[in-house]
Amino acid sequence: MLKKVAFVLALMLCVSLALALESGPSNTVGFTKTSCPANAYTPFGLAFTFWNVVGGVPQYGTVSNQPSSVVGQQLTPGAIGTGDRIWRQGGSWAYRQVASPYWNGTLQSNSEMVIGRAYWVWNRHATPASQDIVLAGQVDTANFGPIAIAANSYTPLSFRDARVRDRSKLNLITSGFTGGGIGTSDRLWEQGGSWCYYTGAAWAGTLVNATPAKAYWIWNRHTTGWNYNYVSGGAVSRPPDRPGDNSIDRISRPNRPSGAAR
């Protein structure tokens, strides 16, 4: 476990150094942490843009959609029937193997770990009781889409945004999300958590915000499909000097002087 933590810290350091060398103080690096209980599927999403990793060093400007770059050597390796897995919901998967590139399966070979989609981690082991995956990448507030929202179904997705976003700012209504009563409106559902709907005049329900690295469903309750396009609504604000405790998502600007130096 200590080796995995050391790898994550080294990866984050490499990201910081690469961004500082390549592009000056305008780039913002972030990371999220997801706890994955033993013998369970844990949903998660991708909050950042991830760079191709070669020899442990992210190659700034070269986007990667492979778990070998996004997740790296985290999780427990094994054979196809024993290694931990990452599964794109409704799509392909890869398992954690011992040898480089550390992931095997179509999620790896076809580079299918893409933004806007939702994923599961399958922690197949009883020991350790829980594993964390820490995802470090470039904060990216560019719009993305379209994501096809099928009729009369649940569509899994996540939001590539390092900010906690109010439900009213997710561009759902203008994309085609249809409101109504509690029993007729489309719904946005945080997987394993709360949900919200639109009355036609206002949002209702206990899900108030979309959170980085969380996975969601859009429940289209109608007979017509539509395309969802995420509109970010602007750049990320300046992050704090001290981002808080380990339980929250973080944004850091590694090449900015500390508060004491300004």
Chain segment 43-98, per-residue pLDDT in tens: 999 999 999 999 888 888 899 999 999 999 999 999 999 999 999 999 999 999 99
Model pLDDT, residue 18: 39
pLDDT at 124 over 70: yes
Strand order in the sheet with 203-205: 153-157, 216-220, 187-190, 195-198, 203-205
Helix (H, G, I), strand (E, B) or coil at 67: helix
Amino acid identity, residue 172? L
Contact 211, 125 (CB under 8 A): no
Secondary structure (3-state) at 19: helix
Domain segments of the chain: what residues? 2-139+238-255, 144-230
**CA–CA separation, 207 vs 205, rounded Å?**
6
- Which of 54-58, 194-198, 212-216 comes out lowest in average pLDDT? 54-58
- Determine phi and psi for 59, rounding to 5 degrees: -95, 95
pLDDT in tens, 142-183: 999 999 999 999 999 999 999 999 999 999 999 999 999 999
Half-sphere exposure of 223 (CA within 13 A, CB side): 0
- Return the pLDDT at 27: 75
Residue position matching structure tokens 């369970």: 40
Query: CB-based contacts of 9: which residues, under 8 Å, 6+ apart?
Result: none
Place of tokens 């995995």: 4
Q: What is the pLDDT of residues 227-249, one digit of tens each?
A: 999 999 876 654 444 444 444 44
- pLDDT score at 112: 97
Q: pLDDT class for 26, splitting at 50, 70, 90?
A: low
- Say what the pLDDT of residue 235 is: 66
Name the band, by pLDDT with cuts 50, 70 and 90, for residue 19. Answer: very low
Please state, in angstroms and rounded to a whole number, the distance separating the CA atoms of residues 169 and 63: 27
Residue 3 pLDDT more than 60? no
Tokens of 17: 């150094």
The rounded mean pLDDT for the chain is 85
- Give per-residue pLDDT as tens, 105-122: 999 999 999 999 999 999
Q: Which two tokens stand for residue 157?
A: 């997705």
Residue 184 binned pLDDT confidence (cut-offs 50, 70, 90): very high
